[in-house]
A and B are shown apart, each in its own frame.
Chain A
Amino acid sequence: MFPKKSPKVTIDYTKCGEKGQVDPRECAKCLKVCDPAIFILHESPNMPIDPVDPKYWRITPVWLSLCNMCMKCVKVCPLGAISVSR
Chain B
Amino acid sequence: MNAKNYSNELAEAINAREYLQEQWKAFEMVYIRRIMGITSIDLGYKLQLPIIGRLLRWSAERMIHSEGKHRNPVRADGHFGQVIPLEEAKIILGNLAAEPIIENYCMCRWMQRGIKEACCINFGLLSGVIEKLPRFIPKDTKYRLDRDEAIAHIEEHNKKGYVATVWFQPVPYINAICSCENPECGGLRLRNDFGLHTVYKGEYVAEVDPDRCQACGICVTKCQFGVLRLVQSLKRVIVDINKCFGCGVCRHACKYDAIKLAPRDNYPALRGVY
A residues neighboring B (CB under 8 Å): 1-6, 24-25, 28, 31-32, 36-37, 39-43, 45, 49, 51-54, 60-66
Given contacts A2-B49, A62-B32, contact A31 B25 (CB under 8 A): no
Scan residues 31-57 of chain B and give those whose CB is less than 8 A from a CB of chain A.
31-32, 40-45, 48-50
Given contacts A25-B114, A53-B134, contact A43 B26 (CB under 8 A): yes
A53 and B28: CB pair below 8 A? no
Taking the complex as formed, is B157 at the interface, i.e. its CB lies under 8 A from any CB of chain A? no
Taking the complex as formed, is B184 at the interface, i.e. its CB lies under 8 A from any CB of chain A? yes
A10 CB to nearest chain B CB (Å): 11
What are 23 A-B contacts with C-beta separation under 8 Å? A3-B49, A6-B42, A6-B44, A28-B113, A31-B112, A32-B113, A32-B115, A37-B113, A40-B111, A41-B28, A41-B110, A42-B31, A51-B133, A52-B25, A52-B132, A60-B41, A61-B41, A62-B31, A63-B193, A64-B44, A65-B44, A66-B44, A66-B193
Most buried by A among B26, B44, B114, B193: B114
* Cα distance, A49 to B45, chains bound together (Å): 29
Chain B residue with minimal CB distance to A38?
Answer: B112
Scan residues 93-122 of chain B and give those whose CB is less than 8 A from a CB of chain A.
110-115
* Cα distance, A62 to B108, chains bound together (Å): 14
Chain B residue with minimal CB distance to A24?
Answer: B114
* Cα distance, A64 to B45, chains bound together (Å): 8
Residues of A within 8 A of B132 (CB): 52
Given contacts A41-B28, A42-B32, A43-B29, contact A63 B45 (CB under 8 A): no
Taking the complex as formed, is B135 at the interface, i.e. its CB lies under 8 A from any CB of chain A? yes
Residues of A within 8 A of B112 (CB): 31, 37, 39-41
B42 and A65: CB pair below 8 A? yes
Taking the complex as formed, is B189 at the interface, i.e. its CB lies under 8 A from any CB of chain A? yes
A40 and B44: CB pair below 8 A? no
A64 and B41: CB pair below 8 A? yes
Residues of A within 8 A of B134 (CB): 52-53
Chain B residue with minimal CB distance to A2?
Answer: B49
Given contacts A1-B50, A62-B31, A63-B189, contact A6 B114 (CB under 8 A): no
Given contacts A60-B41, A63-B43, contact A53 B32 (CB under 8 A): no
B184 and A49: CB pair below 8 A? no
Chain A residue with minimal CB distance to B183?
Answer: A37
Chain B residue with minimal CB distance to A59?
Answer: B114
Given contacts A52-B134, A64-B45, contact A31 B114 (CB under 8 A): yes
A67 CB to nearest chain B CB (Å): 9
Given contacts A53-B135, A62-B32, contact A37 B48 (CB under 8 A): no
Residues of B within 8 A of A37 (CB): 112-113, 183-184, 189
A45 and B29: CB pair below 8 A? yes
A7 CB to nearest chain B CB (Å): 10
Scan residues 167-190 of chain B and give those whose CB is less than 8 A from a CB of chain A.
183-184, 189
Residues of B within 8 A of A39 (CB): 112
Please list the 8 inter-chain residue pairs (A to B) with the smallest Cβ-Cβ separation, ordered nearest first: A65-B44, A28-B114, A3-B48, A51-B25, A42-B28, A64-B42, A31-B114, A37-B112
